[in-house]
């Protein structure tokens, strides 16, 4: 067995220097073979296959942007680049989504209904497998889930109007899940032309995430169904020590959290011993290990001790929960933290406010174990990151870019023209803040226009600059949370503020509603010079038809023209809509009028108004 060298001990990695150095991707491994099983070992051809990898719940579903819920190529590529830099060779893709997705505006997931599938999500899955082949990463595909955050077995039951407890026993529900398995395994990738069942990037099919209550008959039926379609891939399932391992189950897995096991190292020793026993003889994979909440426990010392044990005892693999990629909207895919979700680590590790405890330390030890599990020395890569890519910029106070995998910080440069001359205006800039806020050029002159570019920095040096973005103007921003009237120009009398039931309004702390007993066409007016964009959040009572507000613009506050807003949304406890007026010209006033004259007087409520204006340059700022 491989033994961890002294340098693997967590105490040697306290400052995360390794994580900062491993920013040049190692050469992608060729995926020449399907992964097979030889008793209690995984095999890649004639060589044993062992790994340290990561989980990610952001490979298919963009939890942080419900308005654009399907993960796209940038996030997937960024994640796989991070894995290559870390020496990790396996990604556990959580998971095939089922039914309406509550964290993505209620849109249907991979499985829209029994034997009905959502092409957009499967194209995202196609692309992940295409990219995994290109980057030499194996993927564990999780076919189902015990929990409702991704739909899971409860969504299958809801399709048929059955209680969730019947998922494992009801004949229709068993058939529905088998239909999903058949579709997934037989699907032909639109980018590569390869059926999933023939794709070497797939390490194995996992029956489901934490399906602890699955009876023996169900496991046997589903595993046999997979093997009847796919003779190439392995099947993974939870350790179920109260019965003999099904012959069609190839890999056994367990998850390590403090609410399951107080001592990860002892648990790893016990589970590996069980899996290696003569009556079992199955490879053992730690499918998840991590902290159950934001407290950081059990932390880097416990993780290091567990990985020492796994490396020494022949455990086939261990997967950290969870790594998130950079977001295509800027920053990282920072999913809101809850106890159930646990930490979201960001490579190469950061210490900005809101970062999970020991993020840098945890991500510092992972590469050492990842390379050691593969029998490889840690490469001494000291090259700079790849150049970042600018996002569209039109406001000097909202400058953003696509992060570069492995970058620790960024240098922001500014010029009056796209060709320069360029001057550095900020260094040490990070995009790991939670929630992410774009960079603001606070020294820009009001009314002036600029171009911007960014360089990525790590211990190995500074990247080439991004392409220039702009022109960006010094726009003036007004955000009115409508806690009082101080930011409005005027309003009609029968209006007041409501701060009740914030949980029904996604945390919105105050809304303006009509106070009269009979619904009336009340109005709110805003005044800013040179308004170019107006945005309002409006909440409607869900138990009556929606009668949308009207918007009007004016140059002088006297002559008004009604304008059609772009209206999006409609989901939520109270139905949340966003009204947007874009590219306004000659506008100095905006009026919003309540139109619901047949419904409840307290619906709708206006929650927040955001105004962007660009005053004409004066003689002092030209």
pLDDT at 7: 32
* Mean pLDDT, 10 residues at a time, the chain of 622 residues: 31 39 56 97 98 95 79 96 96 94 76 96 97 98 93 95 96 98 98 98 97 95 98 97 92 93 96 97 96 68 96 98 94 64 84 77 94 91 89 92 97 96 97 86 87 95 97 86 95 93 80 92 95 95 93 97 94 89 95 92 94 66 38
254 phi and psi angles, rounded to 5 deg:
-150, 150
Question: What's the pLDDT score for residue 429?
Answer: 96
Task: Catalogue the long-range contacts made by 121-127 (C-beta closer than 8 Å, 24 or more residues apart).
Answer: 121/60, 121/61, 121/70, 121/97, 122/187, 123/190, 124/59, 124/60, 124/70, 124/71, 124/72, 124/76, 125/60, 125/96, 126/187, 126/189, 126/190, 126/191, 126/192, 127/73, 127/76, 127/191
466 in Cβ contact with 387 (< 8 Å): yes
pLDDT at 12: 32
Q: Which residues, other chains included, contact 396 with Cβ-Cβ below 8 Å and sequence gap of 6+?
A: 440, 441, 444, 450, 472, 473, 474, 475
pLDDT at 25: 45
- Contact (Cβ atoms closer than 8 angstroms) between residue 295 and residue 342: no
Q: Taking the model in full, what pTM does it have?
A: 0.78
Query: Tens digits of per-residue pLDDT, 343-365?
Result: 789 999 988 766 677 899 999 99
Please calculate the CA angle 598-601-604 and round it to the nearest 5 degrees: 95
In the block, residue with structure tokens 């058949």: 182
Q: What is the pLDDT of residue 23?
A: 47
C-alpha distance across the termini of the chain, in Å:
71
DSSP states of 471-505 as a string? EEE--EEEEE--SSSTT-SEE-SSEEEE---GGGG
Looking at residue 293, what is its pLDDT?
59
Nearest to 91 by CA among 349, 237, 285: 285
Residue with tokens 């989980």, as numbered in its chain: 55
SS (H, E, C) 533-587: EEEEEEEECCCCCCCCCEEEEECCCCCCEEECCEEEEEECCCEEEEEEECCCCCE
Q: What is the pLDDT of residue 18?
A: 47
Q: How far apart are CA 175 and CA 367, in angstroms?
A: 42
Contact yes or no for 260/253 (Cβ under 8 A): no
Contact 428, 351 (CB under 8 A): no
**pLDDT value for 616:** 64
Of 36, 58, 57, 59, the C-alpha closest to 48 is 36
In sequence order, what DSSP letters do the residues of 136-181 get, joined into one string? T-EEEEE--BSSGGG-HHHHHHHHTT--GGGTTT-HHHHHHHHHHH
pLDDT of 505 reads 83
| Residues 140 and 204: beta-carbon distance below 8 Å | yes
Give the H/E segment covering residue 130: helix 119-135
Q: Residue 382's pLDDT is what?
A: 66
């Amino acid at each position: 067995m491989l033994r961890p060298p002294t340098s693997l001990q967590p105490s040697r990695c306290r400052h995360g220097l390794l994580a900062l150095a491993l920013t040049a991707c190692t050469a992608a491994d060729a995926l020449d073979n399907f992964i097979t099983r030889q008793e209690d070992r995984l095999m890649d051809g004639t060589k044993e296959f062992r790994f340290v990898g990561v989980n990610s719940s952001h490979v298919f579903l963009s939890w942080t942007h419900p308005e654009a819920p399907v993960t796209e190529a940038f996030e997937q590529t960024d994640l796989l680049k991070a894995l290559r830099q870390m020496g990790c060779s396996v990604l556990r893709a959580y998971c095939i989504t089922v039914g309406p997705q509550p964290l993505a505006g209620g849109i249907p997931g991979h499985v829209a209904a029994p034997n009905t599938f959502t092409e957009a999500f499967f194209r995202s899955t196609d692309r992940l497998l295409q990219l995994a082949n290109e980057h030499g990463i194996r993927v564990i595909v999780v076919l189902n889930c015990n929990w409702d955050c991704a739909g899971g077995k409860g969504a299958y039951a809801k399709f048929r109007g059955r209680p969730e407890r019947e998922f494992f026993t009801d004949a229709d529900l068993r058939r529905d899940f088998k239909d999903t398995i058949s579709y997934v395994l037989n699907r032909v990738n639109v980018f590569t032309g390869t059926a999933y069942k023939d794709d070497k990037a797939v390490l194995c099919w996992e029956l489901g995430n934490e399906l602890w209550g699955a009876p023996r008959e169900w496991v046997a039926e589903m595993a046999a169904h997979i093997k009847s379609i796919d003779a190439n891939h392995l099947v993974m399932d939870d350790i179920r020590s109260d019965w003999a391992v099904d012959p069609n189950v190839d890999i056994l897995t367990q998850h390590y959290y403090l609410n399951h096991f107080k001592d990860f190292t002892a648990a790893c020793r016990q589970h590996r011993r069980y899996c290696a026993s003569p009556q079992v003889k199955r490879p053992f994979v730690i499918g998840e290990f991590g902290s159950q909440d934001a407290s950081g426990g059990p932390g880097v010392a416990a993780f290091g001790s567990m990985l020492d044990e796994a490396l020494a005892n022949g455990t086939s693999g261990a997967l950290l929960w969870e790594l998130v990629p950079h977001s295509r909207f800027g920053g990282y895919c920072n999913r809101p933290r809850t106890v159930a979700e646990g930490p979201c680590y960001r490579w190469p590790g950061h210490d900005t406010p809101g970062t999970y405890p020991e993020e840098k330390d945890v991500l510092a030890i992972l590469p050492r174990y990842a390379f050691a599990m593969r029998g490889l020395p840690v490469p001494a890569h000291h090259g700079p990151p790849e150049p970042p890519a600018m996002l569209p910029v039109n406001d000097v106070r909202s400058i953003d870019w696509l992060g570069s995998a492995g970058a620790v910080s960024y240098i922001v440069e500014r010029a009056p023209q796209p060709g320069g001359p360029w001057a550095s205006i900020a260094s040490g800039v990070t995009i790991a803040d939670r929630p992410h806020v774009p960079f603001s050029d606070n020294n820009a002159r009001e009314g002036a226009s600029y171009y911007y570019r960014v360089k990525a920095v790590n211990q190995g040096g500074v990247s080439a600059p991004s392409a220039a973005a702009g022109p960006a103007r010094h726009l003036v921003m007004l955000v009115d949370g409508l806690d009082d009237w101080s930011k409005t120009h005027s309003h009609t009398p029968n209006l007041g503020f409501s701060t009740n039931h914030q949980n029904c309004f996604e945390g919105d702390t105050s809304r303006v509603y009509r106070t009269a007993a009979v619904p009336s066409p009340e109005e709110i007016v805003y005044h800013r010079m040179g308004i170019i964009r107006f945005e309002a959040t409006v909440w409607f009572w869900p138990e009556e038809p929606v009668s949308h507000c009207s918007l009007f613009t004016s140059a002088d506050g006297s002559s008004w023209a009604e304008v059609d807003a772009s209206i999006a949304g409609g989901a939520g406890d109270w139905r949340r809509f966003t009204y947007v007026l874009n590219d306004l010209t000659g506008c100095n006033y905006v009026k919003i009028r309540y139109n619901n004259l047949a419904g409840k007087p307290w619906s709708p409520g206006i929650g927040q108004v955001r105004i962007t204006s660009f005053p004409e340059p004066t003689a002092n700022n030209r």
